[in-house]
A and B are shown apart, each in its own frame.
Chain A
Amino acid sequence: MTAGATPLVVTVGLAYFAVCAVIGVAAARRTRTPADFFAAGRGLGVVTLALSSMAATLSGFAFVGGPALVYRVGFGAVFLVLPASITATLTAWVLGRPLRALAVRHGVLTLPEALGTRYGSPRVHAASAIALLIAVVGYVATNLLALGLALDAIFGCGLAAGVALGTAATVAYTATGGILAGVWTDVFQGLLMALASAAVFVVAAGAGGGPAVLIRAIAAESPTWVGPWGTVGATTALSWFFVFGIGTLGQPHVLHKFFMMRDDRVLRWYPALMTGALGVTLLLYVGVGLAMRGLVALGLESAPVRPDDVTPIFLLRHVPPLLAALVFSGVAAAIMSTVNAFLNVGAAALTHDLPRAAGRPLARPLAAGRLATVALALAAAGVALWSDALVAFLAIFGWGLFASVFTPALAIGLHWPAASARAALASIGTGVTLTLGLESLAALRVAALPAGVPVAGISLVAATAVFLAVGALDARGEVTRV
Chain B
Amino acid sequence: MDDPRRAATTPRVALGTIAVALGLMLVGYGGQGRGAAWTGWCLALGTALAFGGFLRLGVARRAPSPAERVAVWGTAAWLAAAFAVGLAGGDRPAVARLVLGLPVPTALVFLGIALVPAVALPLLFALSGERAAPAADPQHPEA
Contact = CB atoms under 8 A, between A and B. Distances in A.
Interface of A: 75, 78, 82, 84-86, 88-90, 92-102, 104-106, 114, 117-118, 120, 210-212, 214-216, 219, 223-224, 226-229, 233-235, 238-239, 241-242, 245-246, 249, 264-265, 267-269, 271-272, 275-276, 279, 411-412, 414-418, 449-453, 457-458, 461, 464-465, 468, 475
A224 B91 contact: yes
B110 to A, nearest CB: 6
A268 B86 contact: no
Contacts, number: 225
Given A242-B47, A453-B29, 6 more contacts: A215-B103, A228-B89, A269-B122, A275-B122, A279-B114, A450-B32
B126 A85 contact: no
Contacts of B15: 412, 416, 468
20 contacts: A85-B118, A86-B117, A93-B58, A94-B57, A97-B130, A211-B101, A215-B101, A227-B92, A227-B93, A228-B89, A238-B44, A246-B54, A271-B122, A271-B125, A415-B138, A417-B8, A449-B33, A451-B32, A461-B26, A475-B10
Scoring A97, A219, A245 by chain B CB atoms within 10 A of each residue's CB, the highest score goes to A97
A90 B68 CA distance: 12
Contact of B92 (A92, A210, A223, A414): A223
B43 A242 contact: yes
Nearest to A119: B139
A212 B87 CA distance: 23
Interface string B36-54: 0001100110110011001
Contacts of A414: 138
Interface of A is mostly: helix
B44 to A, nearest CB: 6
Contacts of A219: 95, 103
A417 B10 contact: yes
Contacts of B29: 450, 453, 457-458, 461
A419 to B, nearest CB: 9
A341 B10 CA distance: 34
A326 B97 CA distance: 37
Contacts of B114: 82, 85, 279
A228 B134 contact: no
A267 B131 CA distance: 7
A235 B28 contact: yes
B77 interface: no
Contact of B95 (A78, A94, A226, A475): A226
